[in-house]
Amino acid sequence: MMVTLVLYANATKVRSSRAIECHCRQDVAFRVITGNVVPDHATIARFVVRHERALADLFSEVLRLCDRAGLVKPGLVAIDGTRMAGNASPDANLEFEQIAKEILAEHKATDEAEDEQFGEARGDELPEQLRTPEGRREFFSKARHKQRDDAGAEELGETEPEASSVPEYEFDSERILARTQGRKGWLREADRQLEQHRWQNPDPVSCSRPERLLLAAERHEADLGAERAGNEAFEHHRVHGRDAQGRRLAGTPAPYQLAEVPDGKVNVTDPDSRHIKAAVGYVQGYNAQAVVDEGQVVLAAEITNSTVDWSQLAPMVDAMLEEMRRAGVAEQVKTAVADTQYWNEQHMDDVVANQHVQVLIPPDGGASGKQRKGWTGGRYTWMRYVLASGLGEQLYRKRKQMIEPVFGHTRHNRGVTRFHRRGRTAVRTEWRLLMATHNLTKLHRHQIAAMAA
């Protein structure tokens, strides 16, 4: 009953647990689903949280039903993303010092005690303990234990083993040096591994502000650790590495000076969200990705907090093929089209060589269509030639009419302009439920048309 209720509510633009409870009292369709039982909104919310992963997996089951009805036609697919606001304000993006001071403020007693502690100092400096990585780790550990002691083991799930917030970094120099990136390539690889670790070990976003503050502070420290690991790996390679001829690399890099405390900002309402550019300016939220076929059936739905689509081509193709495998779709994907933001030569080579999917992505973007400076020769010229051919132009012209209406329908007809939940796994479940109910609605209309015929 609860699964049916959640799916029907999402399909009819009712996403709030309180709104669902209200409809269970007033709406006939909702009352039929529940058998005139009115579940409390807290029960509905807890059900969604408790069965988060199972609800996200319903996307594959709905795709299986669409395939059985003959709606899935994956010969040509389109990939794109839409930036959507999360349940967080940009004003909640705080620097490490701001977060640390708010945490420390809970432990300060009176003005007299501060005067005695700081003496002639201003009183707003960070303690020495928070100026070293070891001191910060010890401080975070003690704060975690204090929160557990205050709230109780059951409420904070003390029985579950804690996963490390920092991955074991492993750098493949050949992979990084395949593209001439310099120091930035090593830093980008460290960030990629950290982000992958966070997906594999997601942190639940608590309703308690002190807990969110501590999580945000730990995120700051992990970001600084990734920067440190990337720089150390780069400098080690420059000193001990060899070129293609086995010779030592020329020059010694200048030691990189890390900041004493983490820089940047983390949102203390939803630490997984990012300040990203959307069609209407900047929003604090996520980049929602989707893959659709020519019939506008969504074949894959994922979210990322990356501000650009540059690194999403290969992951989305992999996600699409995995969803099709789980749904039992036999037809093969032949061509994938995407806009210029997905131009990533490494991803394009991987998709074509390993997944056997041809890719059509224009190297030039913007309404003017002018050729980018320096993007000449090689695959740039070849891709322009393919897109200018009759078949290439015909296939790529379908991109907008395939995927843009899905986002337009979701935003304007269904009224989904922001996510309600917080945390990457919760937002992913919410997005996949939205796309699953999009497919369910298409399946419903298809069956009505078939019966009428």
C-alpha dist (Å) from residue 441 to 33, 63, 327, 445: 17, 12, 18, 6
Note the pLDDT tens digit of each residue in 373-390. 778 888 899 999 999 999
Bridge partner list, 304:
287
- Residue ranges, the chain, pLDDT below 70: 106-126, 129, 147-165, 178-181, 244, 366-369
For the packed helices 96-105 and 209-240, what is the interaxial angle rounded to 10 degrees? 140
pLDDT at position 161 is 41
Please count the CA atoms within 13 angstroms of the CA of 149 that sit on its side-chain side: 6
Residue 57's CB: how many other CB atoms inside 10 A?
A: 14
pTM for the model stands at 0.86
One-letter identity of residue 297: V
Task: Give one DSSP letter per residue of 189-206, joined into a string.
Answer: HHHHHHHHHHHHSPPP--
pLDDT at position 110 is 46
For the packed helices 2-11 and 17-26, what is the interaxial angle rounded to 10 degrees? 100
Output the CA angle 141-144-145, nearest 5 degrees.
90
CB 275 within 8 Å of CB 282 = yes
Non-local (6+) Cβ contacts of 81 within 8 A are 287, 288, 289, 290, 304, 309, 312
pLDDT at position 376 is 82
For the packed helices 183-200 and 209-240, what is the interaxial angle rounded to 10 degrees? 140
Query: How far is the C-alpha of 352 from the C-alpha of 307, rounded, in Å?
Result: 25
Query: How far is the C-alpha of 125 from the C-alpha of 354, rounded, in Å?
Result: 54
End-to-end CA distance of the chain: give it in Å, rounded. Answer: 31
116: which 2 tokens? 């005695």
Closest CA to 313 of 273, 358, 274, 269: 358
Query: How far is the C-alpha of 146 from the C-alpha of 323, rounded, in Å?
Result: 43
pLDDT at position 24 is 95
282: which 2 tokens? 């900047």
* Gyration radius of the chain's alpha carbons: 25
One-letter identity of residue 226: A
